[in-house]
């Protein structure tokens, strides 16, 4: 029995490993999701080396391109599509350039499979392609949906027929990954405020905690101390500010440090030129992309993890950078900026230091202060690990997600789920009470009428 469906744009994907962690942890805790991927990631060889073969075997990959159109035509010929699907397809076929036309075909195809499996709810990550496909699932098949909003999918404007406002209005549950985005969405969409809930992205902390336990503080803090950062070389990561901050530290006489930035991206050339202009070739390095094992090795030897997140010109920004969670798990004190959900991760003065975005002098001063106080830095690293365990461990976040879905009646009842989590009885009870009062109001209205 499948409890619900997950509809992803791309799954599994190395750039969205938090989705994989959520699904695998929910499965470990007894859930049986039916998994769909709109894009076929089996066609991307680079992706396949990151995930076990049996995970791909559990994913329903949609036909690609014209094959999907033909598959939907076949379903229509077999009489498996509701009349509303047929009429919508006919209407949209007259608008060949209509944006998001493919979502209609995706929903038509997935809906038949969900009906055959008896699944009545679908969840998606990001307020994007997957969520809009889920909206059409509800329109066509009355299958309820929910979604998890993350960062740019919430912050950046889009121009689609199914807007963010419509997605939120028609969803049964809107999950987002920080208290910051809960407040933001509730303020922008007050009519949907009650359905917005926070569940942090879950992290497999074990490899990072093991790195933290292996840390040799004498080695980390003697000689050339490492300021480490990792991320795509794009505007919102603020790596230009990090390079400038290192230049200021060097100018102010801070000794024995080096900064390594891991990652690749479109700003590589500009950042290399900035390193030359700031004359910090001797202490700042763009190290290119690295494997997770290599990143963990860097964290094991890092004195500071630095990520000066900024708001992009189009409003895009990081919300809850996973790399900060990973650094916290490895007991590395973090220096970052007061932006979106970052202050929910880094507590200024307790697990690291925070400054306002684009304040390069303040950022340089914060890193210098951490380097100047070894004892305090070690204490902040340990406090960061404790906080990561408490709120970012995948076991914690997956349980929160499951309870939210159960309490809202989005997961098919299964007494087996309560064996590992007796708290679900309360969630099921809340669901049943809601259903009773809904039935009671309907009966009263019917009698009065």
Q: What is the mean pLDDT of the chain?
A: 92
pLDDT at 209: 97
Percent of the chain with pLDDT over 90: 81
The closest alpha carbon to 417, from 23, 9, 27, belongs to 27
The closest alpha carbon to 11, from 21, 3, 1, 25, belongs to 21
If one compares 413 and 155, the residue with the highest pLDDT of the two is 155
Q: What is the pLDDT of residues 214-241, one digit of tens each?
A: 999 999 999 899 999 999 999 999 999 9
Q: What is the pLDDT of residues 248-259, one digit of tens each?
A: 999 999 989 999
> With left for phi above 0 and alpha for psi between -120 and 50, is residue 223 left, alpha or beta?
left
Class of CATH domain 4-202+409-444: alpha beta
pLDDT at 439: 61
Ordered by start, the domain boundaries in the chain are: 4-202+409-444, 206-391
Confidence of residue 422 (pLDDT cuts 50, 70, 90): confident
Strand pairing category for 173-176 and 144-149: parallel
Mean pLDDT of 275-280: 97
Confidence of residue 443 (pLDDT cuts 50, 70, 90): low
Place of tokens 């990652």: 263
Do 4-202+409-444 and 206-391 agree at the fold level? Answer: yes
20 token code pair = 């994989």
Q: Is the pLDDT of residue 384 over 60?
A: yes
Distance between CA atoms of 273 and 266, rounded to whole angstroms?
A: 13
Distance between CA atoms of 425 and 290, rounded to whole angstroms?
A: 45
188 token code pair = 């922008």
pLDDT at 449: 36
Distance between CA atoms of 316 and 313, rounded to whole angstroms?
A: 7
The secondary structure of residue 201, as a DSSP letter, is P
The closest alpha carbon to 153, from 145, 138, 164, belongs to 164
List b or e across 67-106, with b for residues whose CB sees 16 or more CB atoms inside 10 angstroms: ebbebbeebeeeeebeeebbebbeebeeeeeeebebbbbb
pLDDT at 445: 43
The secondary structure of residue 41, as a DSSP letter, is G
Mean pLDDT of 410-438: 75
Q: What angle do CA 42, 44, 48 make, to 5 degrees?
A: 65
Q: 3.40.50.1220, 3.40.50.2000, 2.40.50.100, 2.70.98.90: which CATH number matches 206-391?
A: 3.40.50.2000
Q: Is the pLDDT of residue 134 over 50?
A: yes
- Say how many CA atoms lie within 13 Å of 221 toward its Cβ: 15
pLDDT at 436: 61
The secondary structure of residue 233, as a DSSP letter, is S
**Least-confidence region, from 42-56, 67-81, 190-204, 413-427:** 413-427
Mean pLDDT of 386-408: 94
The secondary structure of residue 216, as a DSSP letter, is -
Confidence of residue 89 (pLDDT cuts 50, 70, 90): confident
pLDDT at 192: 97
Rounded to 5, what percent of the chain is helix, strand, coil?
55, 15, 30
Distance between CA atoms of 182 and 66, rounded to whole angstroms?
A: 39
Preceding omega of 12 cis (within 30 degrees of 0): yes
Mean pLDDT of 346-360: 97
361 token code pair = 């002098």
For 173, the enclosing helix (H) or strand (E) is strand 173-176
The closest alpha carbon to 262, from 229, 224, 297, belongs to 229
Mean pLDDT of 332-356: 97
The secondary structure of residue 124, as a DSSP letter, is E
pLDDT at 437: 63
């Amino acid at each position: 029995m499948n409890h619900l469906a997950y509809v992803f744009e791309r799954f599994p994907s190395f750039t969205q490993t938090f989705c994989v962690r959520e699904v695998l942890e929910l499965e470990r805790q007894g859930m049986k999701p039916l998994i769909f991927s709109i894009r076929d990631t089996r066609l991307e060889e680079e992706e396949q080396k990151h995930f076990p073969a049996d995970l791909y075997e559990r994913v329903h990959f949609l036909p690609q391109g014209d094959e999907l159109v033909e598959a939907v035509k076949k379903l229509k010929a077999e009489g498996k599509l509701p009349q509303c699907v047929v009429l919508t397809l006919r209407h949209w076929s007259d608008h060949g350039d209509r944006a998001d036309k493919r979502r209609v075909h995706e929903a038509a195809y997935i809906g038949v499979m969900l009906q055959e499996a008896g699944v009545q709810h679908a969840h998606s990550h990001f307020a994007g392609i997957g969520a809009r496909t889920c909206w059409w699932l509800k329109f066509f098949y009355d299958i309820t949906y929910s979604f998890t909003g993350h960062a740019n999918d919430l912050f950046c404007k889009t121009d689609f027929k199914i807007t963010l406002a419509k997605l939120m209005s028609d969803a049964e549950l809107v999950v987002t990954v920080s208290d910051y985005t809960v407040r933001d969405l509730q303020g922008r969409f007050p009519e949907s405020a009650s359905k917005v809930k926070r569940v942090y992205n879950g992290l497999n902390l074990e490899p990072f905690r093991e790195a933290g336990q292996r840390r040799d503080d004498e080695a980390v803090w003697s000689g050339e101390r490492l300021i480490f950062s990792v991320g795509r070389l794009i505007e919102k990561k603020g790596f230009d500010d990090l390079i400038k901050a290192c230049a200021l530290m060097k100018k102010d006489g801070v000794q024995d440090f080096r900064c390594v930035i891991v990652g690749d991206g479109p700003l590589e050339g500009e950042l290399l030129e900035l390193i030359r202009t700031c004359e910090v070739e001797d202490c700042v390095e763009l190290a290119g992309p690295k494997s997770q094992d290599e990143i963990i090795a860097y964290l094991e030897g890092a004195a500071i993890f630095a990520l000066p997140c900024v708001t992009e010109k189009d409003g895009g920004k990081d919300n809850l950078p996973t790399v900060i969670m990973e650094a916290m798990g490895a007991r590395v004190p973090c220096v970052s900026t007061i932006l979106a959900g970052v202050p929910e991760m880094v507590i200024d003065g307790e697990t690291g230091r925070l400054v306002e975005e684009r304040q390069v002098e303040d950022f340089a001063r914060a890193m210098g202060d951490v380097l100047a106080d070894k004892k305090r830095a070690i204490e902040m690293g340990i406090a960061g690990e404790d906080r990561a365990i408490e709120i970012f461990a995948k076991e914690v976040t997956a349980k929160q997600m499951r309870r939210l879905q159960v309490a809202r009646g989005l997961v098919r009842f299964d007494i087996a789920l309560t064996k590992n989590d007796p708290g679900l009885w309360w969630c099921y009870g809340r669901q049943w009470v809601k259903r009773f009062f809904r039935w009671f109001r309907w009966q009263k209205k019917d009698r009065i009428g």
